[in-house]
Structure 1
């Protein structure tokens, strides 16, 4: 009979475990440490955390790593199999949320740098939920998850697996008031030169219409010069072409 722990991990990691002779050690880790749900201790750990690192990817596999922070417990444990964290108004890019709309697989890493000095991995399937809809299903959600910040929507995560990140090499950080630093604005810190705005271009319908008029005019003058209309351009994002 297939053991539950044998379902954890990707095909790639199992292949490398066989090649490097670590399959037995990995199987023991899956058996002892990995669970398809949150234990009571995991739920308590998440409720104390004020930060989480996110890993997401779009439908083409282009990855993005991000960071979220808030008051302790800003990531809400809804039950043993479900988490939710709020998204606030930011720079308008919505990179992680955009990836989730294409590819719902999401990785979260909670790190405690001050007390326990260990981490918790939670991998799951995520969907975006309006604040009103999630609040209707879970009335216990806090009205103000961060002082003065309005929730735009929630990321609702169904837990697929959860497991420890061991304490080795995790640095000790001491909480302290954030100092006021005299430096350039965040947007200028890395000296990134703004890209000049792209000149406005007419839609492809306009050149096509103009070409039709030119062809009709040429035909009237007895000319038969072919008219070439350029094909529509495609948008690229980090090497992933989208129609």
Structure 2
């Protein structure tokens, strides 16, 4: 006797978020087409149009493109509507990729927790494959993060905007997994709300103006982060305005890792640390290389200047920052006595035949001759480089 065929079990995804807004504002954001296009767009995709007929039996439709530029459409029917409390609708994704499949069901429940605080629970059920469920979990996490930002009165919008493109909100779905595991999601939301801004305060401007070093991160062509120490005289990172910085690039090892990375992917991170107080400040933004006379004139000794459009600014707790005392500035930064000297490592005989002409000319005019690699290592050990 042949067993009757059974349909494979459907899969469900559920996420809960706390939003800094009353239920009526959240409900409006979930039903008003003008609000939907601000947040219902995961990753770098875009939602171009939204149409809603908000009544039981009414239809909705969404049109957009995914991060790869492929168009998609989502349509469905409202099954249940309780204003400011509940929304149930069918969900049919029509497009390429793993989200394509038979219609599923989305339910949004809103629970008031205070005058301006709402708990939103989104349940997406009847998903046909585990791959689609995993993709939907990540996509909904990003969407709800954007919704959270659109609910925050002090936020600049669903995403940060800069002259060089968009920066996603601070937390992604993988951050949320850890936050949920360790019970810190609400704390993380509060920290983001209270400590993350899109521009520098007066105190933060002064802090940067007093720093003589910064750590710069960029992303290379393989996806690896490149972390570089950058040093100069105090204030070498110039505060142009509350949303813009300029940083000179001095003569270095000739690899141009940071500059090359930023030419391909302008996103960067900066970490300013005061080891004496101690205190630290993080920035995210986008970078652009400048070579014009005005920029170079503002930064003597620079080969080029990195102009940084600020997207996010946030202070970190200095609890684990060790306290050090500043003994002396580097004698090689512009304005210091040894600024014009050829770096000792460029005198290593193994590099003599590959130095650029300017370095070769500088060495030829110097009283210092070439050295061996072992001799350079001895200089490193003695701190004389």
Aligned match of 2:225: 63
Equivalent residue pairs, number: 176
> What is the alpha-carbon distance in structure 2 between the residues aligned to residue 53 and residue 155 of structure 1?
14
Shift in Å, 1:169: 1.3
CA RMSD of aligned residues (A): 2.8
Q: Are the equivalent residues in 2 in contact too, given 1:131–1:152 (CA < 8 A)?
A: no
2:280 to 116, 119, 130: 119
Q: Deviations over 1:54-94 (max 9, x none)?
A: 11112431211110011111000000000010001211100
Shift in Å, 1:143: 5.0
What pairs up with 1:48-197 in 2 under 5 angstroms? 48-115=210-277, 117-134=278-295, 142-144=298-300, 150-177=301-328
2:182 to 9, 17, 20: 20
Max Rg structure: 2
Pair 54,143 (structure 1): closer, same or farther in 2 beyond 3 Å: closer
SS at match of 1:106: strand
> What is the alpha-carbon distance in structure 2 between the residues aligned to residue 178 and residue 61 of structure 1?
34
> What is the alpha-carbon distance in structure 1 between the residues aligned to residue 246 and residue 292 of structure 2?
11
Tell me, which stretches of 5 or more residues in structure 1 are unaligned? 136-140, 145-149, 189-193, 198-243
Aligned match of 1:35: 197
SS at match of 2:312: strand
> What is the alpha-carbon distance in structure 2 between the residues aligned to residue 13 and residue 186 of structure 1?
44
Q: Deviations over 1:129-177 (max 9, x none)?
A: 1141536xxxxx6453xxxxx2111011000000112110111111214
> What is the alpha-carbon distance in structure 2 between the residues aligned to residue 19 and residue 157 of structure 1?
35
Shift in Å, 1:13: 1.8
Q: Are the equivalent residues in 1 in contact too, given 2:267–2:286 (CA < 8 A)?
A: yes
Q: Deviations over 1:175-220 (max 9, x none)?
A: 214799xxxx9759xxxxx79x9xxxxxxxxxxxxxxxxxxxxxxx
When the two structures are superposed, what TM-score results if normalisation uses the length of structure 1?
Answer: 0.65
Shift in Å, 1:14: 2.9
Structure having the higher strand fraction is 2
Aligned match of 1:213: none
Tell me, which stretches of 5 or more residues in structure 2 are unaligned? 1-24, 26-150, 160-168, 332-342, 354-385
> What is the alpha-carbon distance in structure 2 between the residues aligned to residue 101 and residue 114 of structure 1?
34
SS at match of 1:151: coil
When the two structures are superposed, what TM-score results if normalisation uses the length of structure 2?
Answer: 0.42
Shift in Å, 1:16: 2.5
Relative contact order (alpha carbons < 8 A, sep ≥ 6): 1 or 2 greater?
1
SS at match of 2:249: strand
Pair 111,179 (structure 1): closer, same or farther in 2 beyond 3 Å: closer
